[in-house]
Amino acid sequence: MLGVIGGSGFYSFFGPDARSVNLDTPYGVPSAPITVGTVGEHEVAFLPRHGVNHEFSPHTVPYRANMWALRALGVRRIFGPCAVGSLTSDFGPGAMVVPDQLVDRTSGRPDTYFDSGGIHVAFADPYCPTLRAAAVDLPGVIDGGTMVVVQGPRFSTRAESRWFAEQGFTLVNMTGYPEAVLARELEMCYAAIALVTDLDAGIETGAGVRAVDVFAEFERNLVPFKKLVHEAIENTAQDNSCTHCQPHDGIRLPFELP
């Protein structure tokens, strides 16, 4: 089974014929019930990251519950669509980018399942190369970029935005971490697909990011963005041959993965 975790403005993926699944986990309940439908030949589970009515801010999303629930349901590969700001004028609003690196600038978020056992997870390349290839193979998709994940819920200051850009980061987001590393700990393939909604504060003189503008830009691009996610799923092979996202080979874990 494939999974899709929808970001801001991306609260549904299937019609009324999809089945709904309510799951509890050792880490609480997920952001919302999971809906299960089909895309092409794939069975797909969809979960809105922020809840159906955007109840969860980036720093309060129950990331561990979300990822655990998807794994328990049978999901082993996940696309994570998300809204991002751009740190370069090369990527304007409406651009769709599949990043290949992330930088964590969050704080205080529970970001591991391994509070005991001395488990260390390889994360040099945080996104699944097989899922990335399925998405970047599509027309108009930008291949690569570094996404810096900030704590939120506030947007960056101009100084922070310029600092990120000077480091060579190209996208800024609030939810890409710890989602990606939790997927890796659970041995699930994961790839982010980013929709640029704005140029960040330090990129355009005189402008600043406003939530109302971000949501409006996302809404304008929601139909083609969902279409891209559908096509990426259809472009994904039925059989999962990825070994990149299985970091626990030869390691004894302190508990069974769901």
Summarize the annotated binding site for substrate as residue ranges: 174, 198-200
188 closest CA partner among 83, 82, 90, 79: 79
> Rounded CA gap, 112 and 114, in Å?
5
200 is catalytic: yes
Q: Which residues are part of a known binding site?
A: 8, 49-50, 174-175, 198-200
84 closest CA partner among 76, 93, 75: 93
Point out the catalytic residue in the list 200, 213, 239, 249: 200
> Rounded CA gap, 254 and 185, in Å?
12
Q: Which residues are part of a known binding site for phosphate?
A: 8, 49-50, 175
Amino acid at 239: D
17 is catalytic: no
Q: Do 113 and 182 meet the contact criterion of CB atoms below 8 Å apart?
A: yes
CA dist 230 → 45, 70, 74, 77 (Å): 12, 18, 19, 14
> Rounded CA gap, 168 and 62, in Å?
30
Q: Do 90 and 15 meet the contact criterion of CB atoms below 8 Å apart?
A: no
Point out the catalytic residue in the list 17, 90, 115, 198: 198
> Rounded CA gap, 194 and 176, in Å?
10
Cα 90 to chain centroid distance, Å, stands at 22
The residues that are catalytic are 198, 200
